[in-house]
């Protein structure tokens, strides 16, 4: 399970020596008050850490270098309580490799009309101090999030919280290792990509392993460990009576063996995400289904058919959504329901690998044949998904940049039963409707594989895109095809001009 309380966001207050010690002491006292308020707020899942007020270029540079070197620092929140001439920030900000958020706030909510004087004006001048700081961020072309409002406002805390989740995902991504068993399935294009570019952008490493190494790990699993895991299955899920039959039970034990071998392999190789492909399963008795589902539920990123970009995205979104209500899963737009009356729906599912964190009830453990692949019948969890807002996100390699494409959707309950559908599935109404959503998605080159989430928000993903310097496109209630296509053309031009990797 992923915890965000290990991470720190450093709160940096800028000033200068002009105002004297007394003012600087007051600046520090006020900043500490804001820090302790934000640190205790439930919107913000990471620790907010007060840093001594900075007043000169050397202090700023050394603080930025400390942030770079701190293994748990996800980034900085910068705020100018007073005026802080921004030339002193050039060195530090230029060397900062962690993301930063510019909080444009003010300690006092209201002007004390009866006692306001020039001392008050000098102490509380973020209204222009933060503009000076904003200029240097833009002048240096630095990606950052600007949050405006009084620090006690709910929207300010929520925006900081969203950013802190994205920054946590980025820090995690920088040390993430992804295991690939086999290459991309067949000749699929959209699941391909440049792994060097991905490592430059996101930090994660993609490691290829022969499936034989996994088979060896699966072969080392002890029978007693399988006994214990099968008991966990029986206690955790609804188990049909057919599964208790000798033949099926042997297949369930095989699924447990694969899970234990895969889990151990990922632990030994320090991998937080992985891919499989049913084209390359030599020596594995079943396509890993239940194993992928349960590993995803524990926070691992997963992509089927060699899709390492989606595996990495699922992992990042698992980190972003940690502790929030709702889950995150690998997903695929599978088939449509287009009634003459009523909104068109998408049936999302996959061969097997849908994460039970999005299940609306206790998943049912079943074993069924796989109609393609020619392997033994694999075990899988079957369930449907709770209704409500959700989103699908996909990451595309456009050749000169990565594009993060998001579609907000509404998960709906349906009355019909699907007794012959042997996989977990979800119905959603894409926003604003299927026509505009799919038209825009296809023009944007969006994949059939996505990371689906009922926990992660568009804001968090946009923050993540901003701090990794990638393109981000959103299809939501307000999308109109003409404007969306125009945005695609403008982005094509602007990224064509930008330096890429
Ligand atoms: Mn697929």
Q: Is the pLDDT of residue 200 over 80?
A: yes
Pairing verdict, β 273-275 and 177-181: parallel
pTM of the predicted model over 0.95: yes
pLDDT of residue 280: 82
Pairing of strands 471-475, 402-411: parallel
Counting DSSP H helices and E strands in the chain, the numbers are 15, 19
- The mean per-residue pLDDT over the stretch 68-88 comes to 95
Mean pLDDT, residues 79-98 taken together: 95
The reported pLDDT for the residue numbered 373 is 66
What is the Cα–Cα distance from 3 to 323, expressed in whole angstroms?
A: 8
pLDDT attached to residue 499? 60
Main-chain dihedrals φ then ψ at residue 50, nearest 5 degrees? -75, 135
Residue 352 is predicted with a pLDDT of 92
Kindly tell me if the per-residue pLDDT of 290 is higher than 80: yes
Which pLDDT value is given to residue 241?
73
Identify whether the C-beta of residue 314 lies closer than 8 Å to the C-beta of residue 273.
yes
**In whole angstroms, what is the distance from residue 186 CA to residue 387 CA?**
35
Residue 152 confidence (pLDDT): 97
pLDDT-based confidence at residue 83 (cuts at 50, 70, 90)? confident
Q: Enter the tokens of residue 41.
A: 């707020």
DSSP class of residue 54 equals B
Tell me how long the chain is.
Answer: 501
Phi and psi at residue 365, in whole multiples of 5°? -90, 120
Ligand 1 center to 191 CA (angstroms): 9
Instruction: Kindly report, residue by residue over 28-51, the tens digit of the pLDDT.
Output: 999 999 999 999 999 999 999 999
The strand pair at 73-80 and 100-104 is best described as parallel
* pLDDT recorded at residue 433: 98
CA of 305 to the centre of ligand 1 (A): 6
Query: If pLDDT is split at 50, 70 and 90, which confidence band does 500 have?
Result: low
Cα of 443 vs centre of ligand 1, distance in Å, is 20
Name which residue leads in pLDDT, 278 or 373.
Answer: 278
Q: Report the separation in Å between the CA atom of 369 and the middle of ligand 1, taken as the mean of its atom positions.
A: 17
Cβ atoms of residues 205 and 176 within 8 Å: yes
- Considering the chain, what is the average pLDDT of its residues? 95
How far apart are the CA of 213 and the centre of ligand 1, in A?
23
Question: In the structure encoding, which two tokens stand for residue 97, read together?
Answer: 């490799």
Is residue 501 pLDDT above 70, yes or no?
A: no
Question: pLDDT value at position 76?
Answer: 98
CA of 279 to the centre of ligand 1 (A): 12
pLDDT(9) > 60: yes
Q: What is the pLDDT of residue 177?
A: 98
Confidence at residue 336, expressed as pLDDT on a 0 to 100 scale? 98
- The strand pairing partners of 425, in sequence order, are 349
Exposed/middle/buried for residue 200 (C-beta within 10 Å: 0-12, 13-18, 19+)? exposed
DSSP 419: T
Distance 159 CA to ligand 1 centre (A): 34
Q: What is the pLDDT of residue 382?
A: 95
Residue ranges of E strands in 317-401: 328-337, 345-349, 364-367, 379-382, 388-397
Q: Which secondary structure element, helix H or strand E, spans residue 31, and what is its range?
A: helix 21-39
pLDDT in tens, 167-180: 999 999 999 999 99
Q: Are residues 96 and 21 in contact, defined by beta-carbon separation less than 8 angstroms?
A: no
Question: 151 C-alpha to center of ligand 1: Å?
Answer: 44
């Amino acid at each position: 399970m992923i915890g965000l309380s290990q991470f720190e966001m450093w709160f940096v207050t800028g000033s200068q020596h002009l105002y004297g010690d007394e003012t600087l002491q007051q600046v520090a006292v006020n900043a500490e008050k804001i820090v302790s308020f934000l640190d205790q707020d439930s919107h913000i899942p990471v620790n907010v850490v007060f840093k001594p007020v900075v007043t000169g270029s050397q202090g700023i540079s050394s603080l930025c270098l400390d942030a770079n070197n701190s293994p748990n620092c996800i980034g900085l929140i910068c705020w100018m309580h007073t005026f802080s001439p921004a030339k002193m920030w050039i060195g530090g900000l230029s060397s900062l490799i962690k993301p930063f958020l510019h909080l444009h706030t003010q300690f006092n909510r209201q002007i004390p009309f009866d006692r306001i004087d020039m001392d008050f004006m000098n102490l509380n001048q973020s209204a222009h101090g933060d503009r000076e700081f904003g200029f240097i961020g833009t002048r240096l072309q630095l990606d950052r999030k600007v949050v405006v409002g009084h620090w006690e406002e709910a929207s300010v805390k929520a925006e900081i919280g969203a950013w802190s989740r994205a920054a946590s995902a980025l820090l995690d991504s920088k040390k993430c290792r992804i295991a690939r068993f086999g290459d991309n399935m067949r000749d699929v294009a959209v699941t391909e990509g440049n792994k060097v570019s991905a490592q430059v952008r996101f930090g994660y490493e993609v490691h290829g392993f022969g499936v034989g190494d996994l088979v060896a790990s699966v072969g080392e699993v002890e029978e007693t460990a399988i006994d214990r895991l099968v008991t966990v299955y029986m206690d955790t899920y609804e188990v049909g009576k057919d599964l208790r039959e000798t033949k099926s039970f042997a297949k369930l034990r095989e699924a447990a063996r694969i899970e234990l071998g895969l889990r151990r392999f990922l632990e030994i190789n320090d991998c937080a995400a992985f891919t499989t492909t049913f084209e390359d399963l030599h020596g594995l008795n079943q396509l890993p289904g239940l194993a992928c589902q349960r590993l995803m539920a524990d926070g691992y990123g997963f992509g089927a058919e060699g899709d390492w970009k989606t595996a990495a995205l699922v992992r990042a979104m698992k980190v972003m959504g940690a502790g929030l209500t709702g889950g995150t899963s690998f997903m695929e737009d599978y088939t449509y329901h287009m009634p003459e009356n009523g909104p068109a729906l998408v049936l999302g599912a996959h061969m097997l690998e849908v994460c039970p964190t999005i299940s609306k009830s206790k998943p049912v453990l079943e074993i069924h044949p796989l109609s393609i692949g020619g392997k033994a019948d694999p075990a899988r969890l079957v369930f449907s998904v709770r209704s409500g807002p959700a989103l699908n996100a996909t990451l595309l390699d456009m050749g000169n940049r990565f594009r993060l494409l998001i579609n907000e959707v509404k998960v709906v309950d349906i009355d019909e039963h699907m007794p012959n559908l042997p996989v977990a599935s979800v119905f959603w109404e894409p926003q604003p409707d299927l026509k505009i959503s799919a038209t825009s998605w296809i023009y944007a080159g969006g994949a059939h594989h996505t990371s689906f989430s009922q926990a992660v928000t568009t804001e968090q993903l946009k923050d993540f895109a901003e701090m990794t310097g990638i393109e981000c496109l959103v299809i939501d209630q307000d999308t109109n095809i003409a404007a969306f296509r125009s945005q695609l053309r403008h982005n094509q031009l602007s990224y064509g001009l930008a330096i890429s990797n």
